[in-house]
């Protein structure tokens, strides 16, 4: 999230709330948020494969 210019706001159970552009809006805030979400989803799937947990997955809402 931070690598894509986002800020982690809080953790809610197993969810993460993050935002982009709150202090200084950029034209590509939405694109960076989507790219970040897709990378998180891919990273969780890769982790599941590495540790042998079938079906480990994450979902993202933007």
pLDDT digits (tens, 9 = 90+) for 2-61: 999 999 999 999 999 999 998 889 999 999 999 999 999 999 999 999 999 999 999 999
Q: How many CA atoms lie within 13 A of 3 on its CB side?
A: 7
Q: What is the pTM of this model?
A: 0.86
The pLDDT value recorded for residue 39 is 97
Hey, which bits of the chain come out as E strands?
Answer: 7-12, 15-19
In a domain, 56, yes or no: no
In a domain, 45, yes or no: yes
In a domain, 29, yes or no: yes
Hey, which bits of 13-60 come out as E strands?
Answer: 15-19
The pLDDT value recorded for residue 23 is 84
In a domain, 38, yes or no: yes
In a domain, 28, yes or no: yes
In which band, very low, low, confident or very high, does the pLDDT at 1 lie, cut at 50, 70 and 90? Answer: very high
- For residue 14, the enclosing domain spans 2-51
Q: Domain tally for the chain?
A: 1
The pLDDT value recorded for residue 24 is 87
């Amino acid at each position: 999230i931070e690598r894509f210019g986002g800020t982690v706001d809080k953790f809610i159970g197993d969810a993460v709330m993050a935002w982009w552009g709150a202090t200084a809006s950029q034209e590509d805030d939405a694109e960076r948020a989507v790219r970040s979400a897709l990378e998180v989803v891919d990273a969780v799937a890769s982790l599941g494969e590495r540790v042998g947990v079938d079906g480990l997955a994450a979902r993202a809402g933007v």
